[in-house]
Amino acid sequence: MDGGRPPVPDIVVPRGVTPFFLPRRPVRGRLVRLGPLADALLTRHGAHPVVTALTGQALALAAALSTALKFQGSFSLQAKGDGPVKLLLADCTDTGALRGYALTNTERLDAMLAIDPAPNAGMLLGKGFLAFTVDPGTGGERHQGIVQIIGASLADMALHYFDTSEQLNCFARLACDRTVEGWRATAFVLEKIAGAGGIDPAMSQSAQEEEWRTATILATTLTDAELLNDNLEPERLLYRLFHSGGVAVDRARALSFGCRCSRARLAGILEGFSGDDLDHMAIEGYIVMTCEFCNYDFRFPREGTRGTGA
């Protein structure tokens, strides 16, 4: 039997998420930069670059949305469609442990790339649904919101969800690309605060709408190069963007490599199968179970693996 799984990267990005707000204006947001964590997560899978980029965007978006919530457990983003990317999944725990993967039909992807070498997220996912789930773990009730996949980009799809399901005014910008330092992924999210404290009490509703419009217009000027640049400090980037009216930064949140698979957990799953089922699973005397998140094969010898019928 394996002595254990090989160590996964022990990577923590102390300033993975930078929350910020515009003082006395109805705008707050989060800047997510995965830094070297993106490369560690994405290079464990031998996916085509267009799929890798989409997965990186999903990871950054999951980190951005999860850190806007107060919860214990995990927050997940799942997109399931009839396109070449059959399933896109990313999740982040309340402590910032991040993981994700994509399942791809390689033949359909190759056929699409032969026609369009740079398909967008809508083309890759096709028709289907997008779900956001908060799972508090054992004993807690899961909360889930589901909408139809609508939009050319993953950011468009997320905004459609917030517009239809949460009635929130949001702005989202996602980017993921391979740089000279390796894969990098980022998310920039703005949220309009509705009548919350901290807004200038003398500001009219129309003035609040104008402040929100101005903030989103400024956000559209961001470039992927700025967002993905590890050497451009979050405070400096935010100051460049909002210096005319001021911007304040809250305490940063850490992100880490967060696959939660374990040999013990998978062994427990195998114990639920009958002896006959285990025999059918075995190949050359071993049962192999693969963690899709970290792309590691756990090998269990059939002899010594006990099931319900053993």
Which part of the chain has CATH 3.55.30.10?
A: 12-257
Whether the predicted pLDDT of 5 surpasses 80: no
Rounded to the nearest integer, the mean pLDDT of the chain is 88
Mean pLDDT over 193-199 rounds to 68
Mean pLDDT over 126-150 rounds to 91
Cβ distance 80 to 129 under 8 Å?
A: yes
pLDDT at 274: 79
pLDDT at 3: 42
Q: Residue 310 — very low, low, confident or very high, per pLDDT cuts 50/70/90?
A: very low
Q: Select the more confidently predicted residue: 232 or 301.
A: 232
pLDDT at 203: 84
Whether the predicted pLDDT of 22 surpasses 80: yes
**C-alpha to C-alpha distance for 59 and 68, rounded to whole angstroms:** 15
Mean pLDDT over 135-157 rounds to 90
b or e along 128-157 (b: 16 or more beta carbons within 10 Å of the residue's beta carbon)? bebbbbbbeeeeeeeeeeebebebebbbbb
Q: Residue 230 — very low, low, confident or very high, per pLDDT cuts 50/70/90?
A: very high
pLDDT at 289: 72
The two tokens of residue 70 are 């107060």
Cβ distance 250 to 22 under 8 Å?
A: no
b or e along 180-198 (b: 16 or more beta carbons within 10 Å of the residue's beta carbon)? eeebbbbbbbbbbbeeeee
pLDDT tens digits, 49-65: 999 999 999 999 999 99
0.85 surpassed by pTM: yes
Q: Select the more confidently predicted residue: 300 or 93.
A: 93
pLDDT tens digits, 162-184: 988 777 899 999 999 999 999 99
pLDDT at 300: 72
Q: Residue 286 — very low, low, confident or very high, per pLDDT cuts 50/70/90?
A: confident
Please report which residue ranges of the chain form alpha helices under DSSP H.
Answer: 36-42, 49-66, 106-115, 121-125, 154-161, 205-219, 224-228, 234-242, 263-270, 275-281
pLDDT above 70 as % of the chain = 89
pLDDT at 244: 87
Q: Residue 303 — very low, low, confident or very high, per pLDDT cuts 50/70/90?
A: confident
User: Which of 68-77, 110-119, 268-277, 289-298 is the most confident on average?
Assistant: 110-119
Mean pLDDT over 289-299 rounds to 70
**C-alpha to C-alpha distance for 44 and 52, rounded to whole angstroms:** 10
Please provide residue 188's backbone torsions phi and psi, each rounded to the nearest 5 degrees.
-130, 115
pLDDT at 307: 57
Q: Residue 282 — very low, low, confident or very high, per pLDDT cuts 50/70/90?
A: confident
Q: Residue 197 — very low, low, confident or very high, per pLDDT cuts 50/70/90?
A: low
Question: 12-257 in CATH: which number?
Answer: 3.55.30.10
**C-alpha to C-alpha distance for 41 and 247, rounded to whole angstroms:** 31
Q: Select the more confidently predicted residue: 1 or 295.
A: 295
Whether the predicted pLDDT of 297 surpasses 70: no
pLDDT at 280: 79
pLDDT tens digits, 65-109: 998 888 888 999 999 999 999 999 999 999 999 999 999 999 999
